[in-house]
Structure formats: structure tokens, C-alpha cells
Structure 1
Amino acid sequence: MILVFGKTGQVATELQSLVPDAQFACRADADLTEPAACAALIEKIKPSAVINAAAYTAVDKAEDDEATAALVNGAAPAAMAKACASLDIPFVHISTDYVFDGSGNTPFVTDHPTAPLGAYGRTKRDGENGVRAAGGRFAILRTSWVFSAHGNNFLKTMLRLGTEREVLTIVADQVGGPTPARTIAAACLKIASQLESAPAKSGTYHFSGAPDVSWADFARDIFKQAGLTCEVTDIPTIAYPTPAKRPANSRVDCSSTRETFGIERPDWRRDVLTIVNELKDVS
């Protein structure tokens, strides 16, 4: 039985569809601000594998609440990893491109030096370091620009605003790979399965959708596939200030994930169409 930390997030929701017999830990089961409780739950349940799909993802709020983000994104994953190492079971931890500084215009490789721009990135980097230090069978899966039919994300925001407005101004100088949550969930399961028989595959990996695109062009594709006439006006990041600085370059090199686990980058455009149709059916 697989134990998943997280229950209502985008990836956790997709995991519930893929492995409904897994156990999903919410805050009542183990509060991520109490790392020891997370470790205790693992030790009590003794699952076959653990996937950490929970995180403090409020990027701007983290600038004023780094202490809480540090517990959830840093200390909790480290505690989970130690518990998994002691039981010799696979641990898959989802991380982010925000551990990099976003410089340049080439994809970041997995061993590129980390240099977070803000509190969110720093706490996620610390979590990665804690997971590696624990040893055992582990995989850190860095991803970016997650979207799905669930929760709050860019695609759903664009669908809502695209029906309300004729023109939207969208940042065009940040580039990355939009990643469907359902493909992240599937990747986590495949990685966990392979780590059971091949612990030597432990390490840090990247996984994002293809092709890489700007936020503005991502929005244009969403509107096109949804049949919305809303126009997009490109703006630079400086014209849309936020408390936390965003990386301009969120491209990540996913070659080692393909070579090690046989997992290809998903074409996010297909998932956009699928999700648009899903949401139409619901409404």
C-alpha cells in the first residue's frame, strides 16, 4: 500500500484517480508543520512506498511566512525521507524549478547549482538537501507550471478571465514547460515502482511538459483550444510586480528522467484540450 502525503492538491487528486486504494494523509493525519508526526505516520503504517505530493506553494505569502514554509517544504520531507530510509522503502518527493535562479535561456540540468530567488525556492531546496542526506531509496522530481482540472492554477484562471474580458495582459518574458498534474502523478508511481527493484536509480530528476513556452503563449493556446476570443497582450515581468521574484527561465532538462525511467515529456497541449472538455462537461 502506497502512502501519499497530500489529499486535495492537484497531484494528490490525480493520484486518487490512479491508485484509489492508496492511503492519503491530510493535515488531520499528519500536520506538515510537525515533521515528527509525518515520520511517525510512516513508521506506523509501514507502506510499500511514500509519495510526498504536499507542499507550501503560496510563493508570495512565503516571503512573509518563511518559518512555516521551512517546516512544510524543508523539515517535513527530510523527516519523511529518514523514516522511509529506516524502512528501506521508496520515497518520491516533488520539488520545483524555483530552486534555480532562472538565468539564461537553456534548460537547467539536474546538477546545476541551486540559487533560489526567494523564500519558496529556498525552503524547497532545503527539503531536497534533507531528502538526499537521509539516503535510502529516493527520487526528487522537480517540475514546473502545474495545471489540471482541480484546484487553483493558470489554466483555470485563464478560462475564467477569458470569458469575462476581451483582452488580457500576460507576462511574456518567463518561459517554462507547463506540466499536467496527471502526468506528474503517473511519473511518481512509475518511479516509486522502479525504485523498489532498482535502488541505484535514486537521485534528482526533472519532469516538465513540452514544448517550452511563455505564459503569454500558454494563455493563447488555452484560449484557442477553448474557443475563446480573448486577446493576449505581451508584457514584461517588470510590468507585473509580485512580492516574490519569479524565475525568467523555468526550462529544465528532462533527459535523465527519460533515460533512467523511460518517462517522456508530455505534450501539454493535448492535456489542455482534455481538461477544457472535462470542465465544459462539468459546467
Structure 2
Amino acid sequence: MILVFGQSGQVAQELARLSPDAMFLGRDQADLSDPDACMDAIRAHAPRAVINAAAYTAVDKAEDEEALATTINGTAPASMAQACTELGVPLVHISTDYVFDGSGEQPFTPDQPTAPLGAYGRSKLAGEMGVRAAGGAHAILRTSWVFSAHGNNFVKTMLRLGTDRDTLRVVADQIGGPTSARAIAHACLTIAEKLQEHPDLSGIYHFSGAPATSWAGFARAIMAIAGLDCQIEDIPSTEFPTPAQRPLNSRMDCATLARFGLAQPDWHADLRDVIAELKGKA
């Protein structure tokens, strides 16, 4: 049995679709603000693999709640990793492009130095360090710009606003790879299975959609696929200030995914599927 931390998030919901036999722990069963409860849950269920799809993801709010964000994103994953190491089972932990400073224009490789710009990135980096320090079989999967038909995300926001407005001003100087939650879920399951037989593949991996684009470019694609006439106006990040600074360069080099037989997903194809699903729900 695979044990998944997370139940209502975008990736957790896609994991439930792809692996309905997995056990999913929501906040009422394992609150990540109580890291000891996470350890106890793993010990109690004795799974063959663990996937951590839960996190504190309020990037701006984290600037005022860094201690809580660090407990959930840092201490809890470290505790999970310790329990997994004790039981000899692999842990797949989802991380983020926010561990980098977003400098330059080249894709970041997994082994490049980290330098988070804000509290959220620091909290996620603490989790990475804790998972690695536990010394067990693990994969830290850094991803970016997650979208799906569930929860709150950029695609759903653009569709809602694009239906009501003729023009939207969208940031064009932040570049990254939109990544569907379903693709992330599939990657997590594939990696979890492979790590059981090949713990030597443990390490940090990057997984993001291709090709790289800006938020404005992503918005244009959303409007085109959805058949909306809303025009997108490019603006710099300085015209859309937020409490937390966003990395300008979120490109990630995903070449090492080949060790698991995985490749970067085409976000255009995944976007078409998500929009079709949303239209079906409407």
C-alpha cells in the first residue's frame, strides 16, 4: 500500500484518480503542523512507499507565517523521512522552483546552488534538507506552476476572468514551465515504484512542463484553447507587486528524469485536457 499525505490538494486528487487503492491522509488524520503525528501515521500503516503531496502553499501569507510554513514544509517532511528510513521504505517529496533565486535565463539543474527569495522557498528548502539528512531512499521532486481542474490555480482564474473581461494584464517577465497535477501524480507513482527496487536512484529531480513560457504566454494559450476572445496585455512584475518576491526564471532542467523513464510533459496537451474537463463540469 502507498501512503499519501494530502487529500484535497491538486496533486493528491490526481493521485486518488490514478491510484485509488492508495491510502490518503487528510489534515484531520495527519496534520503537518504536528510532525510527530506524521511519523506515527507512517509507523502505524507500514506502507511500501510514501508520497508527500501536502504542503503550506500560501506563498504571500508565508511572509507573515514563516514559522508555521517551516513546520509544515520543513519539519514535517523531515519527520516523514525519518520514519520511512526506519521502515526501509522510499519517500517521494514534492518541492518547488522557489528554492532558487530565479537569476539568469538558463534552466536550473538539480545540483545547482539554492537561494530562495522568500519565506515559502526557505520553508521548502528546509524540507529538502531534512529529507536528505534522514538518509533513506527518497526522491525530491521539484515542480512549478501547477494546474488542474481542482482547487485554485492560474488556469481556473484566467478562465473565470477571461469570460467576463475583454482584456487582462498579465506578468510577462516570469518564465517557467506550467505543470499539470496529473502529470506530477503520474511521476510520483512511477518514482515511488522504481525506488522500491532501486534506492540508489535517490536524489533531487526536476519535473516541469515544456516548453518554457511566461504567465502571459500561458494565459494566451488558455484563452485560445478555451475559445475566449479576451486579449492579454504583457506587464512586468513591478506592475503586479506581491508581498513575496517571485523568481523571474523558473526554467528547470529535467534531463535526469530519464533515470525513471520519464520525460517533460507537454503542458499544451495537459491544458487541453484540463479545460475539456472543466467544460464538462460546467
TM-score bin, normalised by smaller chain:
over 0.9
Amino acid at match of 1:262: G
What is the DSSP-based 3-state SS (H/G/I as helix, E as strand, rest coil) of the residue aligned with 2:159? helix
SS of alignment partner, residue 8 of structure 1: coil
Q: Which residue of 2 aligns with 1:82?
A: 82
Q: Any residues of structure 2 matched to 1:126-165 within 5 Å, and which? A: 126-165=126-165
Which letter does structure 2 place at the counterpart of 1:123? S
* SS of corresponding position for 1:271: helix
- Whether 1:263 aligns to 2:262 is yes
Q: Provide Cα deviations, 1:32-72, integer angstroms capped at 9, x if missing partner.
A: 00001000000010001000000000000000000110100
Deviation, structure 1 residue 165:
0.4
Q: Write out per-residue CA displacement over residues 156-189 of structure 1, whole angstroms, 9 at most, x where no aligned residue.
A: 1000000010000000000000000000000000
SS at match of 1:249: coil
CA distance in 2, matches of 1:57, 1:228: 29
CA distance in 1, matches of 2:277, 2:117: 36
- The size of the alignment, in residue pairs, is 282
Alignment of 1:112-261 (within 5 A): 112-258=112-258, 260-261=259-260
- Aligned-pair CA distance for 1:132: 0.2
1:272 paired residue number? 271
Cα distance in structure 1, aligned partners of 2:25 and 2:75: 17
Distance in 2 separating the partners of 1:90 and 1:103: 32
1:143: how far off? 0.2
CA distance in 1, matches of 2:217, 2:28: 40
Distance in 2 (alpha carbons) for counterparts of 1:215 and 1:30 = 34
Give, in angstroms, the shift of residue 125 of structure 1: 0.3
Structure 2: distance between partners of 1:97 and 1:224: 27
Q: Cα offset for 1:281?
A: 1.1
* CA distance in 2 between partners of 1:113 and 1:278 (Å): 39
Q: How far, CA to CA, are the matches of 1:279 and 1:133 in structure 2?
A: 41
C-alpha displacement of 1:257: 1.0
Return the alpha-carbon distance in structure 1 between the equivalents of residues 238 and 28 of structure 2: 41
Q: CA RMSD in A?
A: 0.5
Q: TM-score, normalised by structure 2?
A: 0.99
Q: How far apart are the structure 2 equivalents of 1:122 and 1:26?
A: 24
SS in 2 for 1:232: strand
For the residues of structure 1 that align with 2:139 and 2:208, how far apart are their CA atoms? Answer: 15
CA distance in structure 2 between the partners assigned to 1:124 and 1:279 by the alignment = 30
Structure 2 unaligned spans of 5+: none
Q: Aligned AA for 2:223? A: F
2:51 maps to which residue?
A: 51
Name 1:21's counterpart in structure 2: 21
Query: What amino acid sits opposite 1:242 in the alignment?
Result: T
CA–CA separation in structure 1 for the residues paired with 2:35 and 2:265: 33
Structure 1, unpaired ranges of 5+? none
Percent identity over paired residues: 64
3-state DSSP of counterpart to 2:59: coil
- What's the secondary structure of 1:55's corresponding residue? coil
Question: Residues of 2 paired with 1:225 and 1:26: CA distance?
Answer: 34
State how far apart, in whole Å, the 2-side matches of 1:254 and 1:182 are. 17
What code does the residue aligned with 1:226 have? A
Counterparts of residues 3-18 of structure 1 (less than 5 Å) = 3-18=3-18
Counterparts in 2 of 1:95-114, with a 5 A limit?
95-114=95-114
> How far off its partner does 1:275 sit?
1.1
Deviation >3 Å, runs of 4+: none
